[in-house]
Structure 1
Amino acid sequence: MLTALGALLGLVRDQVIAHLFGAGAESDAFLVSWTVPEVSSTLLIEDAMALILVPAFSLAVARGSVRALLRRTLPALCGLLGCVALLVIAGAPWVVDALAPGLPDHALAVDCTRATATCVFSFGLVGYFSAALRAHSRFLAPAAIYVAYNTGIVVTMVLLPGGLGVRAAAIGVAVGGACMAAIQAPSLWRRVRAAGPALPGARVPGVGVALVAPVIVFALSRQAQVLVERFLAAPLPAGAISHLNYAQKVAQLPMTLSLMLCTVTFPVVARAMGAGDTETARRRVERDLATAAVVVLLGTALVTACAPQIVHILFQRGAFDAADTAATASVMRVYALGLLGQTLVGALVRCYFSAARPLWYPALAMLGGLALTTASGAALVRVWGVLGIAVANALGISLTAVLLLTGLGGRSVPVRVPHVAAGLGKLTAAALAATAAGRLCAGALPDPYLATAAGSLAVAAVFLAVAAALRAPGAGAVLAALPRTARTLTRKLPDAR
């Protein structure tokens, strides 16, 4: 629930930015600086830091060597992050030139980049704290980080003087990063104080270059897709980067929700692989893939069917006009084609790194997808403009997902690839039927609110019905969970009051 709330507050943040700055040269300048927290989030919170440290802390918890691991890694990490943040601040003009050559408002982008560069340090602490807490099976504080982050950004934009323009949003990013670290620190401190002495002869899990390097290459390659998109979009008419950004932010919500389960079960898979229990890991991973696919494909169908209405409701006010709505909705529908691939990559890579051993295959698969994104994007942007960039994103991430799925069995958790692929095929068929039904219902109503409601109901009903008829994996679990969740809430809410 906290993760979902954080994602919704992210939409509120984007609504405020769209209302105040629209989709033009000023918002483009801020979004170039936004690349710094995006890359930092991927490296230091979502991917690299978690993939490296969750298995390490999981082993440390089992061996009773948590404090030793903290003493070995935290001071060095803080020193490294501080140096990198200062380098980005000093080199902000060159960073902007590299990210978006020819950007109309170069000076504004430099100012914003210097403010957002503080996230290199704060996000590093956030990712470290999150990994340690998840390994202790403590998920409340890590789940609340984006609630704190987006609240900090929105409050800062509202409170700072209007004369700062979009710089207020960049300052808000710095404030939000500090809030993320602060909300986790008390919980981690309690866990460290409660940690007992190390077991006799216990070893501190290693976090060496051989383990770190392939994870960092994978994470950078994955985030480089965004850099390629903005690089290709920079020469296009003003607003192209903004349309692409708003479309991604909305379309990625189903992916964010679908990966919540994998985030919680990652320590379980890591402990099972560390103990040599590959059968438990296999069952857990196959179940997670099916459930994540149900959520993301249901969301993909909704986003594709009701894209204009959703963008109208969320953003069309202030400086964001009807032309921006039409452009963003078109990009969002194309970008949604790669959501299943995005989800599979996020879920499968946790399997590869769950055993805490060096493994280069995921990085090579991601580099292959990035190469396809770059080559196809450079070709298609000349024909379709920003839509060509969205197509290239979907092609590249889908290739990476296929490579990771087909290569998993012999390198990590021994999942049954044909079984998983067949289940994904059934769920995709259900999503296609749901998209058609949702678009038909949404298009029949002129009011965007009523159209979105009707389209959502049609998508959900048709998707679950077709998935159940095809006996697709995960659909039955979702249907069974609805009444169970209702009963649980009914029982727990009086206690909460």
Structure 2
Amino acid sequence: MTDRQPPGSPPEPETSPVTDDERAVAPKSGGLMRSGLVVSAMTMLSRVMGLVRDVVIAALLGAGNGADAFFVAFKIPNFLRRLFAEGAFNQAFVPVLSEVATRGSKREVRELLDAVAGSLAAVLALITALAMFAAPWLVWLFAPGFGRDPAKLALTADMLRLTFPYLLLISLTAFAGSVLNTWNRFAVPAFTPVLLNLALIGSALALTPLFAEPAMALAWGVLIAGLAQLAFQTPFLARLGLLPRPWPDFAHAGVRRILKLMVPALFGVSVSQINLLLDTVLASLLAAGSVSWLYYSDRLVELPLGVFGIAIGTVILPALSKRHAEQSREHFSAMLDWAIRSVLLLGLPAALALVVLAEPLLISLFHYGAMTEHDIAMAAMSLRAYAVGLVAFMLIKVLAPGFFARQDTKTPVKVGIVAMVANMVFNLIFIWPLAHAGLALATALSAFMNAGMLGWLLRREGVLVFQPGWGRYGVQLLGGCAVMVAGLAWLAPEWQAWLGWSVWTRTAWLAALVFGGSGLYFAWLAATGVRLRHFRMKS
């Protein structure tokens, strides 16, 4: 990251979009790799706390009606968060903000932030009010199978009235995080999700005795988390001098551009989330517990996806947007190539490890309290199916910014529609023989279609040009994965044995397998010539 102001920007501090001090977030030598490691570390902490949260939820609720009701009540605002806040809004807002910050004045940046914050808050407040009023119909729409049980439907609707305001709060938090990311303050937004997990864990332990239905305590925890996350990021915006004074202004040129980019981006960046929602709708029609089995398996896939795929996608979007604004096409292409290599380096072994260690992972994390052996076996089926698509999920996270950074949201929406249609077809094909696992497999296959089309279009447009050395790199990765899988298969005990072990024995064995498998993989890479310096990339 350069310390110099962009060409053409005035030298005076009062008209510069940011000072040198505001730009210099990390040492210059860090670049994208350093920023990626910061986000990965914070995301790892968040995901570990998320697993602790899920262990507590699994022990408290298992996979019964209360768990199904909470997961749906939480999934609805969470789905919309990913679709709007972290999906369409983020991908449309960051390129526009980067362009204004690079070419415009500080006053123009402040005006944009004020208008966007006010407009976003106004729209989401209206949506939240309507959703709380229409909660029973929303539950029926997202989980039609709950209509067969009026008590379950009513419980889910009550929870949704508590959890839906989370969409408003977390969307404003995502707005703040997008500003911080644009100014290269990656650690704060990456740490913020930890507060959600802490709020849910605290609510599960402290508030459960206050409710006849234990799951209701978790719904209150979601609302508390939204307030805490927004309050946490506000001081960091103020420190940069970028705390907005929200005022709705839909006529503002920047707001109009963001809205124009958001409409197609709703599909382009969030197809995997829409596919997961379709899984929930269809799973609600299957055997009791199907929604929960998919949830627990998806949580394990989300760990490497967040730590590796989303982390890299987060750091490259502002960098790609800046390079596009500077018309640096060669560096733009090199960044995309770096991102693909990086996600394959960690995503491919992570996917294979999830397949090999599905039952031990689920037993170690969730086989406590109300969680049964049958639940473990069912969740393992969907975990393996989701793991098949892990690499594709990651590739989507780093390929989509190649379009959004150039303010092209129409191309990904076309790809997204094709992938969604394919997912529906795959659902119909696989749901009958494989039940809930068929839904997970359909999502994985449609993700590969999505990633493949995005990559092919970037190549056709000349935006993605693969750098030399891919043949050798592919052999190195595949060899390392083969060694790792062979080692895990040889070392891991039969999964039924794990059921009778104590938590400490499970933890010790799981840690040994994780470190042993990782050691074999990276030892192979080191022996075949892969070095850390090969992954350094300036932003």
TM-score, normalization by structure 1: 0.88
- The separation in 2 between residues aligned to 1:468 and 1:330, in whole angstroms, is 34
Is 2:101 aligned against 1:54? no
Match in the other structure for 1:114: 161
Is 2:171 aligned against 1:124? yes
CA contact (8 A) 2:294 2:436 kept: yes
After TM superposition, the structure 1 = structure 2 runs for residues 6-17 of structure 1, keeping only pairs within 5 Å, are 6-17=46-57
Q: What is the Cα deviation at residue 292 of structure 1? A: 1.7
Deviation per residue, 1:312-340 (Å, 9 max, x gap): 11111111122212221222122100000
Deviation per residue, 1:166-202 (Å, 9 max, x gap): 111111111111111111111112223599xxxxxxx
The residue matched to 2:342 in structure 1 has which SS?
A: helix
After TM superposition, the structure 1 = structure 2 runs for residues 442-481 of structure 1, keeping only pairs within 5 Å, are 442-443=492-493, 446=497, 448-467=506-525, 475-477=530-532
CA 1:212–1:25 in 2, change beyond 3 Å: closer, same or farther?
same
Q: Structure 2 counterpart of 1:352, which letter?
A: F
Deviation per residue, 1:231-261 (Å, 9 max, x gap): 1111211111101100010122111111313
Q: What is the Cα deviation at residue 48 of structure 1? A: 1.7
Counterpart of 2:302 (choices 234, 237, 252) is 252
Of 410-419 and 166-175, more deviation after overlay is shown by 410-419
Of 391-400 and 260-269, more deviation after overlay is shown by 260-269
CA contact (8 A) 1:116 1:170 kept: yes
Match in the other structure for 1:170: 219
Identity rate, percent:
25
- The separation in 2 between residues aligned to 1:67 and 1:3, in whole angstroms, is 29
- The separation in 1 between residues aligned to 2:486 and 2:416, in whole angstroms, is 32
Is 2:110 aligned against 1:67? yes
Count of residues in Structure 1 that have an aligned counterpart in Structure 2 = 470
- The separation in 2 between residues aligned to 1:470 and 1:407, in whole angstroms, is 32
Deviation per residue, 1:451-473 (Å, 9 max, x gap): 423432342233334545666xx
Q: What is the Cα deviation at residue 22 of structure 1? A: 0.3
Match in the other structure for 1:35: 75
The residue matched to 1:102 in structure 2 has which SS?
A: helix
CA contact (8 A) 2:488 2:517 kept: yes
Q: What is the Cα deviation at residue 99 of structure 1? A: 1.1
Q: What is the Cα deviation at residue 263 of structure 1? A: 1.2
Counterpart of 2:229 (choices 176, 180, 183) is 180
Counterpart of 2:199 (choices 139, 152, 156) is 152
The residue matched to 2:487 in structure 1 has which SS?
A: helix
Q: What is the Cα deviation at residue 358 of structure 1? A: 3.5
- The separation in 2 between residues aligned to 1:322 and 1:117, in whole angstroms, is 33
Compare relative contact order (CA 8 Å, sep 6+) and give the higher one, 1 or 2. Answer: 2
CA contact (8 A) 1:13 1:154 kept: yes
Of 45-54 and 271-280, more deviation after overlay is shown by 45-54
The residue matched to 2:426 in structure 1 has which SS?
A: helix
Is 2:417 aligned against 1:367? yes
Counterpart of 1:81 (choices 108, 124, 141) is 124
Deviation per residue, 1:372-404 (Å, 9 max, x gap): 221111221111111111111111111111111
Q: Structure 2 counterpart of 1:89, which letter?
A: M
Is 2:139 aligned against 1:93? no
- The separation in 1 between residues aligned to 2:294 and 2:329, in whole angstroms, is 41
CA 1:206–1:332 in 2, change beyond 3 Å: closer, same or farther?
same
Of 346-355 and 420-429, more deviation after overlay is shown by 420-429
Q: Structure 2 counterpart of 1:388, which letter?
A: G
Counterpart of 2:287 (choices 237, 242, 245) is 237
Deviation per residue, 1:279-317 (Å, 9 max, x gap): 111222211221122122222222222221111111111
Ranges in structure 1 where 5+ consecutive residues have no aligned partner: 196-202, 482-497
Q: What is the Cα deviation at residue 51 of structure 1? A: 0.8
After TM superposition, the structure 1 = structure 2 runs for residues 409-448 of structure 1, keeping only pairs within 5 Å, are 409-411=459-461, 413-416=463-466, 423=473, 427-428=477-478, 430-443=480-493, 446=497, 448=506
Match in the other structure for 1:492: none
Match in the other structure for 1:406: 456
CA contact (8 A) 1:36 1:119 kept: no
Deviation per residue, 1:408-457 (Å, 9 max, x gap): 13447333299769856763564354234313311369453344234323
Counterpart of 2:433 (choices 383, 402, 410) is 383
- The separation in 1 between residues aligned to 2:153 and 2:214, in whole angstroms, is 15
The residue matched to 1:43 in structure 2 has which SS?
A: helix
Deviation per residue, 1:99-123 (Å, 9 max, x gap): 1112231111111111111022112
CA contact (8 A) 1:302 1:455 kept: no
Match in the other structure for 1:25: 65
Is 2:190 aligned against 1:143? yes
CA contact (8 A) 1:282 1:414 kept: yes
Q: Structure 1 counterpart of 2:46, which letter?
A: G
- The separation in 1 between residues aligned to 2:130 and 2:462, in whole angstroms, is 37
CA contact (8 A) 1:442 1:454 kept: no
Q: Structure 1 counterpart of 2:237, which letter?
A: L
Q: What is the Cα deviation at residue 478 of structure 1? A: 8.3
- The separation in 1 between residues aligned to 2:385 and 2:270, in whole angstroms, is 24
Is 2:363 aligned against 1:308? no
Q: What RMSD, in angstroms, separates the aligned Cα atoms of the two structures?
A: 2.5
Q: Structure 1 counterpart of 2:281, which letter?
A: F
CA contact (8 A) 1:278 1:414 kept: no
Counterpart of 1:297 (choices 340, 348, 353) is 348
Q: Structure 2 counterpart of 1:287, which letter?
A: W
The residue matched to 1:226 in structure 2 has which SS?
A: helix
The residue matched to 1:163 in structure 2 has which SS?
A: coil
Q: Structure 2 counterpart of 1:82, which letter?
A: A
- The separation in 2 between residues aligned to 1:290 and 1:149, in whole angstroms, is 31
CA contact (8 A) 1:258 1:295 kept: yes
Is 2:42 aligned against 1:2? yes
Counterpart of 1:216 (choices 245, 259, 266) is 266
Q: What is the Cα deviation at residue 156 of structure 1? A: 2.0
- The separation in 2 between residues aligned to 1:370 and 1:332, in whole angstroms, is 21
- The separation in 2 between residues aligned to 1:323 and 1:117, in whole angstroms, is 32
CA contact (8 A) 1:311 1:329 kept: yes
- The separation in 1 between residues aligned to 2:69 and 2:75, in whole angstroms, is 10
CA contact (8 A) 2:66 2:213 kept: no
TM-score, normalization by structure 2: 0.81
